């Protein structure tokens, strides 16, 4: 189910290590809904046409230098009008300290004033990157996400079919678990889906007959990962003798996740099949295709050449 919500200002402040110049304003009550930010040089000069007051506002060297040239009365009037637009917050960069009248006006309009010692441009890039992740369209999928040779494998299928067991075997073979049971997926760009685990189940796997195991504690921190780009979907399904399965791989099946198409393989399950080895092979084969080599197309090319030359299978 896709969800869209704002990012808590308290979380942003904590992750970026921001100083709160207005501690009596509860940051939990303020949320950000726009990933872009704004530098209000024009607004401080009185130009408010097309002003995006829903963005976080940054005060840098240019804004501070402009305000310093104004008289005290002009500065107060400019800041008062600026803060009246109810933006999520104002962040002072380069370790600049807001004047006392700015703090007073911030309390008046209930606008948090935060600070960082980072340069404006560097901080802006970091903030936009974080907001783009936090505000990305989000959905949850029942499945398992594992990093296999750097490829993000999302393993799906009905409950009890063996997703967690396959993930555990992959971990034992040196790969890294990202999420089990529930995978939170964010579309961070037109071509990128990032998966992570809900905090409550992070690094935990449920194994029927055994219970809950902590992969991080049992196998070490090198066997888990915070998040992972999703590159390939493996759909597990019960083997059906009368069903037709792709044996060549010339045509790729895809799965739509948040509007992005992800390559998908349907994998029939029957006794004796080693799921971990098959998943590893699928990951390596997918990487090889991205590098420009497709084994199915190579076989097709060889067959076509064989037909043209009148050869037979098995000819040297």
Q: Find, among 121, 109, 113, 75, the residue nearest to 92 by Cα.
A: 113
Distance CA 27, CA 8 (A): 7
Q: Find, among 130, 261, 138, the residue nearest to 198 by Cα.
A: 138
Given the residues 5, 142, 208, 302, select the one marked as catalytic.
Answer: 142
**265 catalytic, yes or no?**
no
Q: Which residues of 153-174 are buried (b: 16+ CB within 10 A; e: fewer)?
A: bbbbbeeebbbbebbbbbbeee
Given the residues 247, 270, 308, 312, select the one marked as catalytic.
Answer: 247
Distance CA 261, CA 102 (A): 49
Adjacent-strand bridge partners of 152: 147
Q: Find, among 152, 156, 134, 133, the residue nearest to 144 by Cα.
A: 156
Q: Residues 120, 126: contact at Cβ < 8 Å?
A: no
Residues 6+ apart with CB under 8 A from 15: 130
* Strand, coil or helix: 2: coil
Given the residues 8, 64, 181, 202, select the one marked as catalytic.
Answer: 181
Direct distance between the N- and C-terminal alpha carbons of the chain, in angstroms, rounded to an integer: 56
Report in angstroms the alpha-carbon separations of 159 from 27, 69, 147, 190. 40, 67, 21, 30
Calculate the CA dihedral of residues 155, 159, 160, 162 and round it to 10 degrees: 0
Residues 6+ apart with CB under 8 A from 42: none
Distance CA 122, CA 16 (A): 12
Given the residues 30, 55, 75, 163, select the one marked as catalytic.
Answer: 163
Distance CA 203, CA 180 (A): 8
**142 catalytic, yes or no?**
yes
Distance CA 224, CA 214 (A): 10
Residues with a catalytic annotation lie at: 142, 163, 181, 247
């Amino acid at each position: 189910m896709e969800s869209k919500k704002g990012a808590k200002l308290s979380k942003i402040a904590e992750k970026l290590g921001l100083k709160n110049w207005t501690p009596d304003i509860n940051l939990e009550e303020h949320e950000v809904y726009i990933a872009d930010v704004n530098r209000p040089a024009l607004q401080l000069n009185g130009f408010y046409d097309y002003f995006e007051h829903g963005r976080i506002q940054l005060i840098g060297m240019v804004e501070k230098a402009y305000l310093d040239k104004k008289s005290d009365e002009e500065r107060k009037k400019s800041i008062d009008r600026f803060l009246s637009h109810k933006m999520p917050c104002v962040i002072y960069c380069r370790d600049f300290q807001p004047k006392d009248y700015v703090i007073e006006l911030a309390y008046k309009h209930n606008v948090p004033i935060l600070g960082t010692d980072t340069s404006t441009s560097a901080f802006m890039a970091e903030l936009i990157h974080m907001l783009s992740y936090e505000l990305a369209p989000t959905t949850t999928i029942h499945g398992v996400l594992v990093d296999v040779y750097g490829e993000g494998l999302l393993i799906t299928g009905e409950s009890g079919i063996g997703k967690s067991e396959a993930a555990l075997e992959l971990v034992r073979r040196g790969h890294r678990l990202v999420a089990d049971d529930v995978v939170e997926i964010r579309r961070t760009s037109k071509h990128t889906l990032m998966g992570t685990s809900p905090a409550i189940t992070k690094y935990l796997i449920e194994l029927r007959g055994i219970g809950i195991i902590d992969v991080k504690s049992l196998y070490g921190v090198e066997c888990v990962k915070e998040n992972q780009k999703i590159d390939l979907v493996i759909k597990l399904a019960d083997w059906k003798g009368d069903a037709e399965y792709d044996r060549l791989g010339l045509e790729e099946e895809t799965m739509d996740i948040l509007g992005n198409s992800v390559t998908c393989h349907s994998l029939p399950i029957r006794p004796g099949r080693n799921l971990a080895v098959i998943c590893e092979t699928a990951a390596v084969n997918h990487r090889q295709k991205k590098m420009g080599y497709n084994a199915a197309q190579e076989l097709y090319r060889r067959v076509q050449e064989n037909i043209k030359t009148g050869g037979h299978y098995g000819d040297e």
